[in-house]
Every structure is written in structure tokens, then in C-alpha cells.
């Protein structure tokens, strides 16, 4: 059985490979992408691409035609459920992503992995201290109130030096700073912001921000604690001569969705 689609929406109950016309040599249905290995290659010319996100990026407007993917079903039992798979390509975690408004692009950019045996998602976090190793945080799928939890108890005491999406925003002139990962994933602002995993920034954070960005925009929760922390961060930036501002909103950042007036207004501050 084969199902055609413009882009791979995932593989409900399956482990699979997608094929399309090769963007390099043009041979029909000769470029395959394996969702388990995250690798694509042409069976004819041999060109290889690692990472679906990068592969989709080959389709720049006006340069290559959109891929017409062909989905080939295989048996779901071929998947080792103890190994993490890209969250968008598992029917359970993809449903969770859709309910939260997380797009395929956001899921891949965040490197969300789903572990079916535990029913949890993981995403990597890194530190502003080069001596601290990267790690992951995890959360349960299907539990409404579940939060991102640390997967490494040995990092207690230095967790405040970790953040999410730090590497992805390097090279930008401005950056959005939010409290949690969900604030960026649900809003679609993952391409312009970082999550500091809390609201109380250590002094080291301000040195890192000043070194890497010309402008900092803080968007914290609208409750008393969040606004107090945002104002404290603004004052800390002003003290260190860092150009900074605060975004005020009626709802927490994670309650807004891509394309809304609030999100577009925040984006306009980060050009």
C-alpha cells in the first residue's frame, strides 16, 4: 500500500522510508529518507544528506520543485521502542505535538525524541559554561500538567547555568529570553529565542548575553513572580549597558500561537 503526500506527516504505527525524486540528479523516486537513521541518499548518484530538517531546506522557493513523497508501509514491530525516535514520526508524540500547536519544523529543530516504553519526550539543553557537558530534559506525554524535568541529578547546583536552544540563536543580533521551553515551542518563536529554565538569572547569564547579542527581549509570565523577575533582569541589563526591553502580555507566552497578533508583535522586536 502506498500513500502520496507533499511532505511526510509521520508514520502512524509504522517504521518507514520515504522516497521522492532526487533533488541532485533528478531521477524519479530514487532519493530515499529513512526516519530511523535520519539519513537521506540517492540510490543513483549517491548524494547523501543527514537530517530531515536540512533535507527539506534544500527546497528553496524558485530553485527546486517541492518533493512528492511516497510512503511505503512496513511493520511497526521493526521499531525498537526503547530507542528514541523523532517525535514527529511517532503517532503518539505527533498527536501531542499537534495538540500543543508544535509544527514538524519546530519538533525537528528542537530535536524532540520520543521513547515509547517510558512515554516521554526529551530535548537537549546546553550550558553557558563551556566546562559543563550538554544534557537533556524530559517530560511525560499525555499528562496535561507535566513539566520538563532534569534527566541528570548530578547537575544539581549548576542547573541555573543551563538553557535551551542556545546554539540555534548564535550569530543573531537580538534574542528573545523566555522562562520555559514551552514558551518557545508552542509560540513558534524557537528560531529567535532561548529558554533559561527559570526566571532568576545568575550574573553569568548577563555576561553571556552581552557577549553574544546587541539586544535582549525578555518575555516572562504575567504573574507577579514573572514580572518581578523580568524587571530585575531589565535592571541587571541596564547596569551592564545591555540594550534590553520587556514584553508585557495578558497571558503566559505558551498560551499564544504562531501567527497571532501578539506573536507577530514580538517578532517585530527581534529583526
Over residues 45-72, the mean pLDDT reads 53
pLDDT over 90 at 16, yes or no: no
Domains of the chain (ranges, CATH numbers):
2-78 (no CATH), 85-268 (3.40.1360.10)
In whole angstroms, give the CA distance from residue 57 to residue 159: 34
The per-residue pLDDT for 199 is 87
Q: Is the pTM of this model over 0.85?
A: no
User: Which cell numbers hold the place of 167?
Assistant: 546554539
In whole angstroms, give the CA distance from residue 50 to residue 34: 10
pLDDT over 90 at 225, yes or no: yes
CB 214 within 8 A of CB 175: no
Q: What share of the chain in percent tops pLDDT 70?
A: 75
- Collapsed DSSP state (helix, strand, coil) of residue 177: strand
- Which of 118, 193, 127, 208 lies closest to 160 in space, CA to CA? 127
Amino acid at each position: 500500500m502506498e500513500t502520496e503526500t507533499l511532505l511526510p506527516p509521520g508514520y502512524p504505527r509504522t517504521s518507514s522510508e520515504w522516497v521522492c525524486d532526487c533533488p541532485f540528479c533528478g531521477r524519479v523516486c530514487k532519493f530515499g529518507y529513512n526516519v530511523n537513521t535520519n539519513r537521506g541518499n540517492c540510490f543513483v548518484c549517491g548524494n547523501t544528506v543527514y537530517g530531515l530538517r536540512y533535507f527539506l531546506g534544500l527546497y528553496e522557493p524558485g530553485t527546486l520543485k517541492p518533493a512528492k513523497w511516497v510512503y511505503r508501509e512496513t511493520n511497526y514491530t521493526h521499531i525498537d521502542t526503547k530507542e528514541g525516535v523523532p517525535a514527529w514520526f511517532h503517532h503518539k508524540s505527533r498527536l501531542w505535538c499537534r495538540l500543543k500547536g508544535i509544527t514538524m519544523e519546530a519538533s525537528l529543530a528542537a530535536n524532540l525524541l520520543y521513547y515509547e516504553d517510558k512515554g516521554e519526550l526529551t530535548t537537549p539543553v546546553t550550558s553557558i559554561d563551556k566546562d559543563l557537558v550538554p544534557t537533556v530534559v524530559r517530560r511525560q506525554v499525555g499528562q496535561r500538567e507535566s513539566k520538563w524535568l532534569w534527566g541528570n541529578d548530578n547537575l544539581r547546583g549548576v542547573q541555573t547555568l543551563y538553557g535551551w536552544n542556545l546554539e540555534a540563536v548564535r550569530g543573531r543580533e537580538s534574542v528573545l529570553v523566555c522562562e520555559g521551553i514551552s514558551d518557545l515551542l508552542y509560540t513558534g518563536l524557537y528560531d529567535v529565542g532561548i529558554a533559561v529554565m527559570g526566571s532568576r538569572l545568575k550574573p553569568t547569564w548577563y555576561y553571556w548575553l552581552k557577549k553574544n547579542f546587541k539586544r535582549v527581549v525578555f518575555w516572562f509570565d504575567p504573574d507577579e513572580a514573572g514580572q518581578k523577575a523580568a524587571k530585575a533582569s531589565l535592571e541587571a541589563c541596564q547596569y551592564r549597558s545591555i540594550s534590553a526591553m520587556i514584553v508585557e502580555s495578558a497571558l503566559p507566552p505558551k498560551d499564544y500561537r504562531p501567527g497571532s497578533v501578539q506573536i507577530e508583535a514580538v517578532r517585530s522586536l527581534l529583526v
